[in-house]
Amino acid sequence: MFSSKNKIRNPLIGNIYMALILRLLLVFFLYSLMRVLFYLLNYEMFGAIPFHQFWTMMKGGLRFDASAIFYINALVILLHVIPFKFRYNLVYQKIIEYIFYAFNAIGIIANMADAGYYRFTLRRTTMSVFREFGNENPAGFLHFLWDYWYITLITIALIVSMVFLYRRIRVKKPEKFVPWYIYYPLGTGVMLLSAYLTVGAMRGGFKHSTRPITLSNASAYISKPEHRAIVLNTPFALMQTTGHKTVERKHYFPQEEALSVFSPVQQVKPDSTAGFARFKGRNVVVIIWESFAREWVGALNKDIPGYKGYTPFIDSLIPESYVFGKAYANGRKSIDAIPSIMTGIPALEIPFILTEYSGNNVNSLASLLKNDGYYSAFFHGAPNGSMGFDAFVNQAGFDAYFGMTEYGNAKDFDGHWGIWDEPFLQFMATTLNDLPQPFLASVFTITSHDPYVLPKTAQHTFPKGGIPIQECVGYSDNALRLFFEKVSKAPWFNNTLFVITADHAVNGTLPEYKNSAGAFAIPVIYYAPGSGFSALDDSTVVQQTDILPTVLSLLGNNQPFVAFGNNMFDKSPTHFAMNYLNGAYQLFGGDFMLQFADDKAVGFYDLGKDPMMKENKAGAFPEKQQKMENLLKSVLQQFNERMLDNNLTIK
Question: What is the predicted pLDDT for the residue at 554?
Answer: 97
Of 8 and 134, more confident: 134
Question: What is the predicted pLDDT for the residue at 387?
Answer: 80
Question: What is the predicted pLDDT for the residue at 411?
Answer: 94
Q: In a 10 Å sphere around its CB, with 0-12 CB exposed, 13-18 middle and 19+ buried, how is residue 427 labelled?
A: buried
**Alpha-carbon torsion (340, 500, 567, 592), positive or negative:** positive
Question: What is the predicted pLDDT for the residue at 3?
Answer: 45
Strand 283-289 to 496-502 pairing: parallel
- 286-312 pLDDT, tens per residue? 999 999 999 999 999 999 999 999 999
Q: From start to end of 202-278, where are the E strands?
A: 265-267
| Euclidean distance between the first and the last CA atom of the chain, given in angstroms as a whole number | 67
Question: What is the predicted pLDDT for the residue at 209?
Answer: 43
pLDDT beyond 80 at 346? yes
Kindly report whether the peptide bond that precedes residue 438 is cis, defined as omega within 30 degrees of 0.
yes
For 267-644, the fitting CATH number among 3.40.50.1010, 3.90.1200.10, 3.40.720.10, 3.40.50.150 is: 3.40.720.10
Which DSSP helix (H) or strand (E) runs through 239? helix 234-240
Domain ranges in the chain are 16-240, 267-644
Assign 395 a pLDDT band (cuts: 50, 70, 90): confident
Question: What is the predicted pLDDT for the residue at 560?
Answer: 95
Question: What is the predicted pLDDT for the residue at 354?
Answer: 72
Question: What is the predicted pLDDT for the residue at 131?
Answer: 61
Question: What is the predicted pLDDT for the residue at 4?
Answer: 43
Question: What is the predicted pLDDT for the residue at 506?
Answer: 92
Assign 50 a pLDDT band (cuts: 50, 70, 90): very high
Question: What is the predicted pLDDT for the residue at 7?
Answer: 46
| Model pTM score | 0.79
pLDDT beyond 90 at 122? no
By mean pLDDT, which of 106-115, 152-161, 206-215, 632-641 is the weakest?
A: 206-215
Percent of the chain exceeding pLDDT 70 equals 94
pLDDT beyond 70 at 468? yes
Question: What is the predicted pLDDT for the residue at 211?
Answer: 62
pLDDT beyond 90 at 436? yes
Strand 496-502 to 521-527 pairing: antiparallel
pLDDT beyond 50 at 5? no
Of 454, 440, 460, the C-alpha closest to 370 is 440
Alpha-carbon span 559 to 269, nearest angstrom? 10
The CA-atom distances, in angstroms, between 138 and each of 41, 76, 85, 116 are 25, 30, 44, 17
Assign 220 a pLDDT band (cuts: 50, 70, 90): confident
* Residue-by-residue DSSP string for 513-527: GSSTTGGGEEEEEEE
pLDDT beyond 50 at 323? yes
Alpha-carbon span 604 to 617, nearest angstrom? 5
Report phi then psi at 454, rounded to 5: -120, 155
Strand order in the sheet with 521-527: 400-402, 375-380, 439-444, 283-289, 496-502, 521-527, 322-328, 535-543
Average pLDDT over residues 494-506: 97
pLDDT beyond 80 at 98? yes
Report the 10 Å Cβ neighbour count for 83: 14
Average pLDDT over residues 355-365: 84
Report the 10 Å Cβ neighbour count for 503: 27
Average pLDDT, the chain: 91
The CA-atom distances, in angstroms, between 33 and each of 28, 44, 112, 125, 247 are 9, 19, 11, 19, 34
**Alpha-carbon torsion (133, 134, 136, 141), positive or negative:** positive
- 312-322 pLDDT, tens per residue? 999 999 999 99
Ranked by mean pLDDT, which of 385-389, 493-497, 638-642 comes out on top? 493-497
Of 495, 534, 529, the C-alpha closest to 323 is 534
Question: What is the predicted pLDDT for the residue at 350?
Answer: 76
Average pLDDT over residues 228-242: 89
Question: What is the predicted pLDDT for the residue at 6?
Answer: 45
Q: In a 10 Å sphere around its CB, with 0-12 CB exposed, 13-18 middle and 19+ buried, how is residue 552 labelled?
A: buried
Maximum CA pair distance of the chain?
A: 96
Average pLDDT over residues 205-213: 64
pLDDT beyond 90 at 272? no
Alpha-carbon span 272 to 544, nearest angstrom? 22
Question: What is the predicted pLDDT for the residue at 32?
Answer: 97
Alpha-carbon span 388 to 136, nearest angstrom? 10
